[in-house]
Amino acid sequence: MTPNTETNRFTGASRYVLDDELARIVNISMALEMPLLLKGEPGTGKTMLAHAIAEALGMPLIVLNVKSSMKLVEALYQYDTLTRLNDSRFGDSKRDVSRIEDYIRMGKIGQAFTAETRTVLLIDEIDKADTDFQDDMLDVLDQMEFDIIEIDKTVRALNRPVIVITSNAKKDLSDPFLGRCNFHHIAFPDADMMRRIVRVHFPALDKDLLENTIAAFYRMRQIDGIEKRPATRELINWIRALKADSDCRPQQIGKGEPPYLGVLFKKSQDYQRAREAAARRRL
């Protein structure tokens, strides 16, 4: 299957600021039909990218949120024994109790495979699951088919979904897994890019507020020994908080302790350190 690269080219979406490099990587991954593995600091828009691709290409988005205890079969399909038992006892449904197929429900991967149109499949935070899950899943995604054991049926993908996988690097991913993906690391945006990102979210933002918050934000990212640095998501929430506060004067943000530090620093030790750093600068 050769995808029509002309019509299926990803160029960005309304709420997502895309840099050229990432756009090229997304397009190459789609053409090669390989899953794209995204890494990067939390809050740099890994998950948002999948939403943006879905929006831009007009495909439905299916999200599989990986959990640590997850089994692969849950992501593929579920055999709803409870409903079947219920039906067999009361018999008031339209389902045929003797047909097991009526009680098979598709999981997220199954839904992406059986969908009528091409879909975007986002597998979020793959690193939470154990290695077996990851390897088995890639087998399924490689072959684009899986078996439903209960009814001895093979589900084959009608359309090969565009697969985006994100990882927060909590655990290292296995080599065979990495071998089957394309890889990109979303670097933290610089100040110019950040201005564009903020503009997309707040088109009518006061210029003073924008400049002051961004300057203060990057200064705070530089504080030594922070475990979880504030990222784009935190900045946007922070601006939202500042906008809601009618007492807030943009010129004051850079001086003294910035308001609503808790929006930016979410670990108590980080919060403490940020406060100390802010206090020291004032002296």
Partner 1 sequence: MFIDFFYKLRDVGLPASPTAFLTLHRALSLGLVSSLEDFYTASRSILVKSERYFDLFDQVFAHHFQGADMPDVKGIELDELARSMLEFWLNKPGELSRLLGMDEKALKKLTPEQLLEYFKERLKEQTEAHHGGGKWIGTGGYSPVGHSGYHPGGMRVGGVSGNKSAVKVALERRYKDYSQDGPLTQALVGEALKRLRHMAPAGPKDRLNVEKTIYQTTKNAGEIELVFDRDLKDKLKVILAIDNGGWSMDPYIPVVQTVFDYARAQFKDLKTFFFHNTIYDTLWGDPARYRKAQRISEFARLDPETRLVVVGDASMAPYELLATDGSIYAEERSGRPSIECLMFLAQTFPRSVWLNPKPSDVWDYTRTISAIRQIFPMFELTIDGLEQAVGHLMKK
Q: How far is the CB of 269 from partner 1 (least distance, A)?
A: 6
Q: How many Å separate Cα 51 from the centre of its chain?
A: 8
Q: DSSP string covering 241-281, please?
A: HHHH-TT--GGGTTSSSPTTHHHH--SHHHHHHHHHHHHHH
Tell me the CB-side half-sphere exposure of residue 175, using CA atoms within 13 A. Answer: 0
Q: Does 160 bind partner 1 (CB under 8 A)?
A: no
CB 196 within 8 A of CB 45: no
Which CB, 37 or 62, lies closer to partner 1? Answer: 37
Work out whether the CA dihedral 282, 202, 184, 115 comes out positive or negative. Answer: positive
Q: Does 65 bind partner 1 (CB under 8 A)?
A: no
Q: How far apart are CA 7 and CA 57, in angstroms?
A: 9
Stretch that binds partner 1, among 24-32, 92-100, 110-118, 141-149 (CB under 8 A): 24-32
Q: Does 185 bind partner 1 (CB under 8 A)?
A: yes
Q: Does 19 bind partner 1 (CB under 8 A)?
A: yes
Stretch that binds partner 1, among 29-37, 55-63, 107-115, 151-159 (CB under 8 A): 29-37
The residues with which 185 forms a beta bridge, in sequence order, are 39
Which CB, 53 or 76, lies closer to partner 1? Answer: 53
Q: Does 221 bind partner 1 (CB under 8 A)?
A: yes
Q: Does 28 bind partner 1 (CB under 8 A)?
A: yes
Residues that bind partner 1 (CB under 8 A): 2, 5, 19-21, 24-25, 27-29, 31-32, 34, 36-37, 39, 169-170, 178-179, 181-193, 218, 221-229, 269
